[in-house]
Amino acid sequence: MRMDSAVLVEKYQDRLFAAAFSVCKDPQDAEDVVQESFIAYHSSKKEFESEEHIKAWLLRVTINRAKNACRALWRRATVPLEDYADSLEFECSADRELFETVMSLPEKYRIALHLYYFEDYPVKEIAKILSISESNVKVRLSRGRAMLKEILKEDRAENE
């Protein structure tokens, strides 16, 4: 199964951008990574089983390319998280606080949480996308949640 690239771009561009941004924390790098991922799909000859398979493949390619972009020697200085967060619209200050807290987590927890909560992937699919075991995904989700809880608890204690 193959889908038209333009349809995929329209449908998955925002999700791939969010995944890439959660890895590299830079909007320009995330945009580049998403574009490269769609080019990889367009130029690949791979046949897919379903649209869900295409989506998972695009996410895996995007995350891997984002990791590579973060490691690249030529990587430019990133935009401070606060500056990027200022460019986003949040319904309330709690949403902004949660976004900034999630983005402050180490990459491996941030990616797992993003795929689970924002992309609605089950643990089994996340394991395939990240090429890790299901138990490792569960550990990352558990530790990521614990870190979020601790950070948010500390923030509340400071504000009281």
Domain residue ranges of the chain, discontinuous segments joined by +: 1-78, 90-160
Question: Average model confidence (pLDDT) for the chain?
Answer: 87
**Angstrom distance (rounded) from CA 83 to CA 97:** 14
Higher confidence at residue 158 or residue 21? 21
Non-local (6+) Cβ contacts of 116 within 8 A are: 123, 126, 141
Fold entry, domain 1-78: Rna Polymerase Sigma Factor; Chain: A (1.10.1740)
Tokens standing for residue 54: 């295409």
Please report the pLDDT score of residue 79 as a whole number.
Answer: 55
With a cut of 50, say whether residue 22 has pLDDT above it. yes
pLDDT digits (tens, 9 = 90+) for 57-116: 999 999 999 998 887 645 554 555 566 666 667 778 777 777 788 888 998 999 999 889
The identity of residue 63, as a single letter, is I
Architecture of the domain whose range is 90-160: Orthogonal Bundle (1.10)
Q: In degrees, to the nearest 5, what angle opens at C-alpha 38 toward C-alphas 40 and 46?
A: 45
pLDDT digits (tens, 9 = 90+) for 120-150: 899 999 999 899 999 999 999 999 999 999 9
